Amino acid sequence: MSDITIERVYDYRQDPHRAGTVFLVDRLWPRGVSKEDLDGVEWAQDAAPSPNLRIWFGHMADRFAEFTGRYRGELDGHPERAEPLLAAARQGPVTLLYAAKDTEVNHALVLKGWLEEQLDG
Q: Which pLDDT tens digit goes with each residue over 33-42? A: 999 999 999 9
What is the overall mean pLDDT for the chain?
94
pLDDT at 2: 67
Distance (Å, whole) CA 50 – CA 53: 5
Full-model pTM: 0.94
Q: Give percent above pLDDT 90 in the chain.
A: 88
CA distance 44 to 83: 10
Place 17 in a pLDDT band, splitting at 50, 70 and 90: confident
- Residues 6 or more apart whose CB falls under 8 angstroms from that of 90 comprise 119
- Helix H, strand E, coil C: the string for 76-96 is HHCHHHHHHHHHHHHHCCEEE
State pLDDT tens for residues 76-121: 999 999 999 999 999 999 999 999 999 999 999 999 999 999 999 7
